[in-house]
Amino acid sequence: MTVSLVGAGPGDPGLITVRGFERVRACDVLVYDRLVAQELVAEAPRSATRIARDGRTQEAVNALLVAHGSQGRAVVRLKGGDPFVFGRGGEEALALAAAGVPFEVVPGVSSLGAVPAAAGIPVTHRGVSGSVTAVAAHDPARLDFAALAGVGGTLVFFMGLARIRDVADGLAGHGLDPATPAAVVASGTTEAQQTVTAPLSRIAAAARGLESPALVVVGEAVSLADRLRPLRPAAPAARRRPPRSPRAVGAPRPAPVSSARHR
């Protein structure tokens, strides 16, 4: 395999899959997103070329993957969550397929369920929520709020923190009860995780001061957080290490890379 589109998981570096971790440790080229834990970037071999995705258009990223993959190099495209859940992995896969470059998809733990779970919110729960809807909310003007307000279950909005008031007003304005429980989970699954809960009508005010990355969760399942949150640690007791791959035992360790994250 030439190019691996790898999901790094929702934030905590310990939540990458074993296969994803193996691919990172064996790569020749690592193209990574800003939100990927620096502990994972540091696991690439010393000789690997590390390329930050920040500041590059999607077309430029596609061209990078095709160029390095066409040379037969082991390329890892490391992205937060799962490559095919708001990760543009489909676009990169199409570019590779069009260029005839072999590739694979290594699924990751998506923030869709993992980040709410870290805050004590099960996105589905028998008798409370029988469905979950994932929504890209960076442009609320393009959302069908009438459909979202009537779909039921749990709504999970990605990239919506900056427009949370528009999201809340849009839902309430199209019939969703303003008293519906809502939450914002920022930096989910990491030591910096912050969670606020409030009725839909007050969630924008409650979330003031939180920073991205964050998910906005709306639905009755949020009401379970108060009962489930005390049963989980407030934050990991210590910085998590990624899983040790059986194939990697005894392999030389790469030089550490200082983390740019605030934990």
pLDDT value, residue 229: 78
User: Superfamily for 3-110+237-248?
Assistant: Tetrapyrrole methylase, N-terminal domain (3.40.1010.10)
Domain(s) of CATH 3.40.1010.10: residues in the chain: 3-110+237-248
Would you state the CATH architecture of domain 121-231?
Answer: 2-Layer Sandwich (3.30)
Q: Which helix (H) or strand (E) holds 205?
A: helix 203-206
What mean pLDDT is predicted for residues 192-203?
97
Q: Which strands, in side-by-side order, build the sheet including 103-106?
A: 49-52, 29-32, 75-79, 3-7, 103-106
Domain(s) of CATH 3.30.950.10: residues in the chain: 121-231
The residue with greater pLDDT, 232 or 95, is 95
pLDDT value, residue 256: 36
Buried/exposed code over 76-107 (b: 16+ C-beta within 10 A; e: otherwise)? bbbbbbbbbbbbbbeebbebbeebebebebbb
Query: Does residue 83 contact residue 110 with C-beta atoms inside 8 Å?
Result: no
- Summarised one tens digit per residue, pLDDT across range 20-65 is 999 999 999 999 999 999 999 999 999 999 999 999 999 999 999 9
Question: For the chain, first and last CA: distance in Å?
Answer: 35
